[in-house]
Structure 1
Amino acid sequence: MILVTGATGNVGRHVVRLLAEQGIATRVLARDPEKAAGLGAAEVVLGDLAEPGTLGPALEGVDAVYLFPVPGSGPAFVAAAEAAGVARVVMLSSDAVADDVAEQANPIAGYHAEIEAAVRGSALEWTLLRSGHMATNALPWAGQTKAGGVVRGPYAEATSAPVHEADVAEVAVVALTDEGHAGRVYRLTGPESLTAAEQVELIGKAVGRPLAYEELPADVAREQMSRFIPPFIIGTLFEGWARSVGVPALVSSDVETVTGRPARAFDEWARDRAADFA
């Protein structure tokens, strides 16, 4: 039995689907079981990583866990998993985490590193998936693409190597079900470095009409985005975008190493999600 946390998220729903397609018994931990009912898992149980008291029943009879990190949940999850006799955990982390530093560079890296440390220090066989920029980060542009032909935002030339959520899920399922991945740290990216402007252009091709990126002054964009994004995330995002301008994003081959096929390109992701932008 494999327990999937974060199953209603962009990656988690693919993990559940892939396990179901392989006929592997799957249980989903969900704060809202009704929301998770249509994912295809054999079982859906009420629970929350932020509420340790719910973890014991959810982990009963579980061999492996796909762990979507919830800030501060690492030690309680590890204790519950060890008590339940879980053998393996595959954790979705962030490539913002830096090894061998006394303090992480930003809060996002910080909370992922704390959970990584709990998992690494456990008796579980662990695998860490340090995901880079997720292609789904482009989804907030959808409101603008539906309303017209221009996406307005900061740093048109900021670079990233967007990774398809299905690729992250496929790596997770291999690590959950195959041997040879214990103690490994995989950095997951897409196959190419793209600017924000190039991503918008590719989305335009996917929806069948031209789209352009119009750069806003950073202070204007920051003020607009601060209305719906927490300040600590805003600061991290803007610092990262500014540093990346003119610098090609790192591209990793770890998706291919684990799955045996190249990572999906962003234009494929754009076609897969074209309905979201049309």
Structure 2
Amino acid sequence: MYVIIGATGVVGREVVEQLDSAGAKVTAVTRDPAAAHLAPGTLVVQGDPAAPVIPAEAWNGVEAVLLSSRGAIASASEILSAAAEHGARRVVVVSAATVEHPVGEPRFIAGFRALEAAAEASGLAWTMLRCADFDANALAWAPQLRGGDVVRGAYGAAATSPIHECDIAAVAVRALTESEHEGQRYLLTGPESLTQCDKVRMLGAATGRDLSFLELPPAQVRAAMLAQGLPEEVPARLLGSLADYARVPGPTTDTVAELLGRSALDFAAWATAHAAAFTH
């Protein structure tokens, strides 16, 4: 049985789906089980990894655990100690490429390093998935594009190789279920480097619209995000990394293709699959 911490997040939800499709037993830990809407065969348990408040029954028969929640950074050691006590053999951590290729504010990098350190100290066999930014991060533009044809933001030239959540999940499933990935630190990216302007253009192609990116000063973008009620961490995390990626593009690797035996899914495919989220 596999315990997924962060089961309703972008990656965790896809891991649950892929494990369920493979016939594996899955326990999903989420703060709000009633709103989880996960695969019917999934055991959904209420728990808060940030506290941590994870009921003992979540660990019954556990083989491996996925940590896919930034909220678990402070409590990772306690969570993994409980997993080990209940017989877990391995942990897979959804971490960030910034651990290996630092950008943005050091405090955010330190959080992912602490998460990895907790896994290494847990006594469990571990695998680190150091991911580039997610294709799904583009959903932050959906409110703007549902109301018009312009994305307003900072650092349009910032370039990364964003990764599809299905690819992260496919690698995570292998790491959870196969021993050959133990002790590995995988740098996972999408197949091509794209600027923010490139991604907006691809969203335009997917939706049949002429979309554009309007460059704004970072301070204006930060103020707008805070005015929307977002916590300070959100613009700080976003704008700090984009500022660095505007100077030096993020890494691009073939690791997904090497591990899965197929090409990594590209952003255009993600945009086509999610086009409805950006329509008027």
Equivalent positions of 1:62-211 (< 5 A) are 62-69=62-69, 70-98=72-100, 106-211=106-211
Asked if 2 retains the 8 angstrom alpha-carbon contact of 1:16 and 1:41, the reply is no
1:190 counterpart SS class: coil
Partner residue in 1 for 2:266: 265
1:133 counterpart SS class: coil
CA change 1:169–1:105 in 2 (3 A) is same
Equivalent positions of 1:55-66 (< 5 A) are 55-66=55-66
Asked if 2 retains the 8 angstrom alpha-carbon contact of 1:160 and 1:193, the reply is yes
1:77-105 CA distance string (max 9 Å, x none) = 12101111100111111112249x9xx95
Gapped regions of structure 2 (runs ≥ 5): none
Task: Please say which of residues 43-52 and 191-200 is displaced more in the overlay.
Answer: 43-52
1:18 counterpart SS class: helix
- C-alpha deviation, 1:26, in angstroms: 1.1
- Distance in 1 of aligned mates of 2:139 and 2:37: 24
- Distance in 2 of aligned mates of 1:269 and 1:115: 28
CA change 1:41–1:188 in 2 (3 A) is farther
TM-score after normalising by structure 2: 0.92
- Distance in 1 of aligned mates of 2:260 and 2:252: 16
- Partner AA of 1:270 in structure 2: A
Asked if 2 retains the 8 angstrom alpha-carbon contact of 1:142 and 1:277, the reply is yes
- Distance in 2 of aligned mates of 1:64 and 1:128: 14
Gapped regions of structure 1 (runs ≥ 5): none
TM-score after normalising by structure 1: 0.93
Partner residue in 1 for 2:28: 28
Structure 1 outlier segments of 4+, above 3 Å: none
- C-alpha deviation, 1:275, in angstroms: 0.7
Identity %: 39
Asked if 1 retains the 8 angstrom alpha-carbon contact of 2:4 and 2:28, the reply is yes
Answer yes or no: is 1:226 the counterpart of 2:226: yes
